[in-house]
């Protein structure tokens, strides 16, 4: 998880553009340190029994749906030219949005309202006129808290990070702020959904701790070697950047059209699993049954078994119809 958010090539480019090469180096060095620290923290603070309980909770939360994937036996050329392969991509794309659209929507709403808050409000949260040790300790704790509350994560939090850096936040506080991608509120809600409230809080606390420690270590290392940046840009040079027709706008348009095309493919080739509501490819899924002249399709064996055990919950059938449906499921399975 840290690798997929902190060790990202595009993130390094955006950091370099807004903040310079020192921050890019700190991000990637710190990303590796985050992984090592989190591995150690999990080994120490998460028992095997607790891990098993969390895995069980995740399965109960229906995170184990087996979505279709493009066959590895096809060549790259065959995958690119295969309607089935593109359908697999489309249904996975739609399935991911179906599972997390509430958390993502909430996050964008929060980020939108945060954008209306004056930059001075964020800057006033940091101690600037204090001994270096006190300032660093306060900044490195407050930085991730701002990231959690603002939900501007990954690539999106770099412009806000640049504003904070221009406003006087310490190098350690900046690094901790950038690291806090994985504990923003919508992502924390996803942890709660899959792992339960208790473990979600524990996971968030462990991540927060390793982010603070990693930021302090990187700050000490860069300060000792003279690599810690000191030049700060003017806030106006960041906040006055307007929206223009550039490569970003073009890519937004291209991938919006790509998203629409993928969703259209799921409408044309898909069917809805009556248990979980996930859209599945009617030509690819092997989890199906015939009942009363209609074919029911499922995303996984889990959903099919769920329907078999409680058909009246999904179709409103009585006990007699339930028995016939179970027989039909068993015959089709055989």
pLDDT at 64: 47
Q: Given a cut of 80, is residue 223 above it in pLDDT? A: yes
Q: How many CB atoms lie within 10 A of CB 47?
A: 10
| Structure confidence by residue, pLDDT tens digits, 120-140 | 676 677 776 778 788 888 888
Copy the structure tokens of residue 52. 């098993």
Estimate the share of the chain in helix, then strand, then coil, as percent rounded to the nearest 5.
70, 5, 25
Average pLDDT of the segment spanning 58-63: 70
| Structure confidence by residue, pLDDT tens digits, 250-264 | 988 999 999 999 999
CA dist 53 and 58 (Å) reads 9
**Which of 39-43, 106-110, 126-130, 206-210 has the lowest average pLDDT?**
106-110
Task: Assign 304 a pLDDT band (cuts: 50, 70, 90).
Answer: confident
Task: Assign 316 a pLDDT band (cuts: 50, 70, 90).
Answer: low
Q: How many CB atoms lie within 10 A of CB 291?
A: 20
pLDDT at 111: 59
Highest mean pLDDT among 105-119, 140-154, 233-247, 309-323: 140-154
Average pLDDT of the segment spanning 93-103: 76
Is the Cβ–Cβ distance between 124 and 146 less than 8 Å?
no
Q: Give 54's strand partners.
A: none
Is the Cβ–Cβ distance between 65 and 303 less than 8 Å?
yes
CA 213 to chain centre: 23
| Structure confidence by residue, pLDDT tens digits, 155-199 | 667 777 777 777 778 888 888 888 888 887 778 888 888 899 999
Average pLDDT of the segment spanning 313-328: 55
Could you tell me which of 178, 261, 175, 187 has the C-alpha nearest to residue 219?
175
Report domain extents, the chain.
2-241, 254-333
CA dist 316 and 193 (Å) reads 27
Is the Cβ–Cβ distance between 298 and 306 less than 8 Å?
no
pLDDT at 189: 83
């Amino acid at each position: 998880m840290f690798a997929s958010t902190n060790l990202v090539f595009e993130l390094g480019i955006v950091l370099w553009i807004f903040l310079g090469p020192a921050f890019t180096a700190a991000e990637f060095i710190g990303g590796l340190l985050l992984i090592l620290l989190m591995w150690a923290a999990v080994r120490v603070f998460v028992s095997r029994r607790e891990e098993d309980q969390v895995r069980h909770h995740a399965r109960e939360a229906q995170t184990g749906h087996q979505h279709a994937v493009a066959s590895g036996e096809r060549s790259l050329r065959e995958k690119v030219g295969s309607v089935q392969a593109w359908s697999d991509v489309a249904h996975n794309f739609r399935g991911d949005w179906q599972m997390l659209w509430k958390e993502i929507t909430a996050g964008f709403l929060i980020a939108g309202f945060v954008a209306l808050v004056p930059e001075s409000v964020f800057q006033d949260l940091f101690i600037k006129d204090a001994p270096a040790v006190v300032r660093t300790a306060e900044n490195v704790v407050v930085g991730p808290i701002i990231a959690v509350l603002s939900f501007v994560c990954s690539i999106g939090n770099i412009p806000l990070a640049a504003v904070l850096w221009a406003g006087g936040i310490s190098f350690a506080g900046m690094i901790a702020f950038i690291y806090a991608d994985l504990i923003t509120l919508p992502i924390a809600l996803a942890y709660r959904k899959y792992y339960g409230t208790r473990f979600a809080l524990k996971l968030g606390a462990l991540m927060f701790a390793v982010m603070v420690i990693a930021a302090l270590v990187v700050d000490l290392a860069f300060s000792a070697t003279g690599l810690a940046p000191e030049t700060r840009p003017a806030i106006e040079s960041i906040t006055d950047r307007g929206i223009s027709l550039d490569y970003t706008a073009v890519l937004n348009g291209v991938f919006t059209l790509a998203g629409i095309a993928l969703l259209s493919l799921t409408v044309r080739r898909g069917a809805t699993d009556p248990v979980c509501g996930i859209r599945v490819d009617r030509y690819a899924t092997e989890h199906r049954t015939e009942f009363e002249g209609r074919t029911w399709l499922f995303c996984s064996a889990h959903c099919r078994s769920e329907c078999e055990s409680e058909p009246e919950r999904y179709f409103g059938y009585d006990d007699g119809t339930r028995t016939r449906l179970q027989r039909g499921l068993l015959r089709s399975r055989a």
